[in-house]
Structure 1
């Protein structure tokens, strides 16, 4: 399973790359066509087309507001081709230094393996409130 975890980590790394470089098509290409996605602010997106439309509106210019790193924290294989992936999302500055005064995100991704490729099929992001 270590090769599968490495492949999943690469998807998350690509997601981070797309976010940092405001690459809408690269980001959207990580999703299954029937994916569902809920943002950290609770906006529900149904299907890759809706995810693409939303991403095209919010991603360009987003790095002016801030960046985040994405680290796979835990992978649970529900089946060999389905994984629940817990991610640590940390706000950072342009030098990738952690911004301790900002809340982290705690996404949970459900990924499915389709034709040998891991895709995001469902996602729920949650803001972690500071104590």
Structure 2
């Protein structure tokens, strides 16, 4: 699978269950869509109740309550000047029910062009599965500096 800037999505250990890979890639797409449409409820539905989230500015949020409060403050209006693309670069299955997705994030202007500065991120999401449902249990939204 080709991804961000021609990268290939890698999966470890290989071979992994193709349905699990598709499911996790789809959940990252749901996260992207929630951000693009400023859908706080859709965004928050992807997190487990005890999740830990570190924002791009380094603020640590513990539990869905703190993540919700922050998200409801910053997500509305966040896409007023453009959009964002997410591409899964790597999936690491730590156990069959715990997976890490490494993502490339690119913010775009209103015309869909990549922002030249402060427009990239490299978030990681740690997912835990209960039954058939994957939820983010930890995440780090790391900004990528130009250069």
User: Which one is further off, 59-68 or 115-124?
Assistant: 59-68
Unpaired stretches in structure 2, ≥5 consecutive residues: 1-16
Select the structure of larger CA radius of gyration: 2
Give a deviation string over 1:50-79, Cα, whole Å, max 9, x none.
Answer: 111110111111112442111110001000
1:34 aligned to which of 42, 50, 73: 50
Aligned equivalent of 1:120? 136
CA–CA distance in structure 2, aligned partners of residues 47 and 104 of structure 1: 26
Query: Pairwise CA RMSD of aligned residues?
Result: 1.3
CA-CA distance at 1:126 after TM superposition? 1.0
CA-CA distance at 1:95 after TM superposition? 4.1
Aligned equivalent of 2:30? 14
Give secondary structure in 2 for the equivalent of 1:74.
strand
CA–CA distance in structure 1, aligned partners of residues 117 and 66 of structure 2: 32
CA-CA distance at 1:99 after TM superposition? 2.3
Aligned equivalent of 2:121? 105
Runs of 4+ in 1 over 2 A off after TM superposition: 93-103
Unpaired stretches in structure 1, ≥5 consecutive residues: none
User: Which one is further off, 6-15 or 87-96?
Assistant: 87-96
Aligned equivalent of 1:55? 71
> What TM-score does the superposition give when structure 2 sets the normalisation length?
0.84
Give a deviation string over 1:58-107, Cα, whole Å, max 9, x none.
Answer: 11111124421111100010000001110000111234332234441000
Give a deviation string over 1:101-130, Cα, whole Å, max 9, x none.
Answer: 444100011111122111111001111111
Aligned equivalent of 1:46? 62
CA–CA distance in structure 2, aligned partners of residues 65 and 122 of structure 1: 28
> What TM-score does the superposition give when structure 1 sets the normalisation length?
0.93
User: Which one is further off, 30-39 or 103-112?
Assistant: 103-112
